[in-house]
Amino acid sequence: MKINKIVCIGAGYVGGPTMAVIADRCPHVDVTVIDMNEVRIAAWNSSSLPVYEPGLAEVVQRARGRNLKFLNHIDGVQALKEADAIFISVNTPTKTHGPGAGKASDLSYVESCARFIAQHVSGQKIVIEKSTMPVRTAELIKEILTHNNSQAKFDILSNPEFLAEGTAIRDLEKPERVLIGGENSEAVQALVDIYAQWVDPRLIITTGLWSAELSKLAANAFLAQRVSSINSMSAVCEKTGANIDEVAKVIGTDSRVGPKFLKASVGFGGSCFKKDVLSLIYICESYALPEVAHYWQQVIEINEWQKKRFAQKIIESVPPHGTVAILGLAFKKETNDFRESASIDIVQHLLQAGLKVISYDPKVNFTEFAKGLQKAENLKSASSIAVAINGVHAVAILTEWPEFASINWQEFAPQLKNCNLIYDGRNIVPVDAPLPPKLNFQRIGVSG
């Protein structure tokens, strides 16, 4: 088995960058990314890509028009027919209704992809789960494929993505590991051969299907748990006079723990952590493991509490109907993505409390951000930091954009004359940064 032609369904934050890197690193392989969202496809074919990721534009530039194409579903049917391997990289959001609502992953897009594939293909196809899926989803995909197409032969693989937004290209080009789960060793090897074009084969882990599916959920759950653990400690620090950055440094120097992912924050966001932990909780409940479900539920609870706690401190520091400047809407730096960003909940809490909010983010589309918020008429966007903080009663840093770390606060003293509080929700302002006098400056996990 050899993969010469690839189709990926879903040109999102995962599908787009992943396929761009595969095409870049495997010039002999034809890669077609298809998406039902025509606007998104048009953007992938333009100079203004729909995803902001450092290094992505250069990779797309090199491969697009050579062996990388972006097409809509209909134009992509021919490529689908010819493909040896088909990646499914569509979104798997938390279900909003029906059994498991609020926890289980909504697999309707995955199911419709499977039907779409079954409808159009013949011969032998490798179908690869790229999206994060609940354990044993491969069974469901296989059932749909074979039920709707008895002629073709399908091998299902699980190849979950470990890229983090903001560092996606680096993570794809130099991954710590690539995971491929499957039953048919020939199909597994065919996909190993693709990654081995640029990844050291010792970093390519092959496992059974169910281990691969569960590993992705478990990996994200462990990462989310780490953020909730440090954030829970940040509250203890604020009460006791300990400093969370010092505590994190000490904990992280134990090689059994390691220094990464110990940064206290306003709470984790992003499209994966909450969804994947909820999915894991639902799986545990479904398999009658309530103690395990309860254990992971706390990771979510602490995250929600951290956001609320932060918002409450701001609300208490400003006059009724006062104005708060929010610096950063993205869920982390170096991305335009604000899905599940802590800023959504924090801004919503402030608006609900009757405050006015003025926000600034260098990359996030404000109109998209404001959609769905209640009392959004009291939320405005500023074109710069200086405009955002002018005359406000409090400033909150919610994303660790480097430009927020280097703000010269003293220079802004006139604009900050009504300001009671600057709250650094990412602890990025240097501890020795000169500050205007009499201004209350607070860090996450630091008392005072």
Q: How far is CA 99 from the centre of its chain?
A: 25
Residue 54 in contact with residue 169, Cβ under 8 Å? yes
Q: Nearer to ligand UDX by C-beta: 9 or 188?
A: 9
Q: Nearer to ligand UDX by C-beta: 91 or 442?
A: 91
Q: Does 332 bind ligand UDX (CB under 6 A)?
A: yes
Q: Nearer to ligand UDX by C-beta: 155 or 161?
A: 161
Among 268, 310, 404, 409, binds ligand UDX (CB under 6 A): 268
Q: Which tokens go with 168?
A: 């996606």
Q: Does 165 bind ligand UDX (CB under 6 A)?
A: yes
Among 115, 162, 206, 441, binds ligand UDX (CB under 6 A): 162
User: How, if at all, do strands 178-182 and 153-158 pair?
Assistant: antiparallel
Among 12, 76, 362, 445, binds ligand UDX (CB under 6 A): 12
Helix (H) or strand (E) holding 204: strand 204-207
Q: Nearer to ligand UDX by C-beta: 262 or 422?
A: 262
Q: Which tokens go with 103?
A: 């926890």
Q: Nearer to ligand UDX by C-beta: 125 or 356?
A: 125
Question: Can you tell me the distance from the alpha carbon of 85 to that of 57, in angstroms, rounded to the nearest whole number?
Answer: 25
Determine whether 436 is exposed, middle or buried from the number of CB atoms within 10 Å of its CB (0-12, 13-18, 19+): middle
Q: Does 36 bind ligand UDX (CB under 6 A)?
A: yes
Q: Does 279 bind ligand UDX (CB under 6 A)?
A: no
CB of 42 to ligand UDX, least distance (A): 12
How many Cα atoms occupy the beta-carbon half-sphere of 99 within 13 Å?
4
Q: Please, which of residues 288-327 interact with ligand UDX by CB under 6 A? A: none
Q: Does 45 bind ligand UDX (CB under 6 A)?
A: no
Question: Can you tell me the distance from the alpha carbon of 375 to that of 357, in angstroms, rounded to the nearest whole number?
Answer: 10
Q: How far is CA 398 from the centre of its chain?
A: 16
Among 67, 131, 279, 348, binds ligand UDX (CB under 6 A): 131
Query: Any idea what DSSP says for residue 343?
Result: H
Site string for ligand UDX, 187-216 (x = CB under 6 A): ------------------------------
Active site residue 419: no
Q: How far is CA 256 from the centre of its chain?
A: 26
Strand order through the sheet with 394-397: 379-381, 356-360, 323-327, 394-397, 421-424, 440-443
Q: Binding segment for ligand UDX among 7-15, 233-241, 316-324, 437-445 (CB under 6 A)?
A: 7-15
Selected catalytic residue, list 113, 237, 272, 419: 272
Q: Binding segment for ligand UDX among 179-187, 232-240, 256-264, 410-418 (CB under 6 A)?
A: 256-264
Q: Does 338 bind ligand UDX (CB under 6 A)?
A: no
Among 137, 149, 215, 271, binds ligand UDX (CB under 6 A): 271
Q: Binding segment for ligand UDX among 25-33, 35-43, 179-187, 278-286 (CB under 6 A)?
A: 35-43
Among 95, 125, 263, 393, binds ligand UDX (CB under 6 A): 263
Question: Can you tell me the distance from the alpha carbon of 344 to that of 330, in angstroms, rounded to the nearest whole number?
Answer: 9
Which residues on neighbouring strands pair with residue 421, listed in sequence order? 394, 440
Which residue is listed with tokens 């220079």? Answer: 411
Question: Can you tell me the distance from the alpha carbon of 212 to that of 161, in angstroms, rounded to the nearest whole number?
Answer: 11
Q: Does 109 bind ligand UDX (CB under 6 A)?
A: yes
Which residue is listed with tokens 């006015």? Answer: 356
Which residue is listed with tokens 């780490």? Answer: 226
Query: Any idea what DSSP says for residue 200?
Result: -
Going from the C-alpha of 57 to that of each of 11, 17, 37, 42, 259, the distances in angstroms are 14, 9, 20, 15, 31
Q: Binding segment for ligand UDX among 58-66, 118-126, 140-148, 264-272 (CB under 6 A)?
A: 264-272
Question: Can you tell me the distance from the alpha carbon of 446 to that of 264, in angstroms, rounded to the nearest whole number?
Answer: 10
CB of 239 to ligand UDX, least distance (A): 20
Among 49, 85, 223, 385, binds ligand UDX (CB under 6 A): 223
Q: Nearer to ligand UDX by C-beta: 161 or 245?
A: 161
Q: How many CB atoms lie within 10 A of CB 98?
A: 9
CB of 309 to ligand UDX, least distance (A): 14
Question: Can you tell me the distance from the alpha carbon of 111 to that of 44, in angstroms, rounded to the nearest whole number?
Answer: 25
Q: Nearer to ligand UDX by C-beta: 33 or 392?
A: 33
Applying CB under 6 A, which residues contact ligand UDX? 9-15, 35-37, 40, 89-92, 109, 112-113, 131-132, 161-165, 220, 223, 227, 261-263, 265, 268-273, 331-332
Active site residue ranges: 272
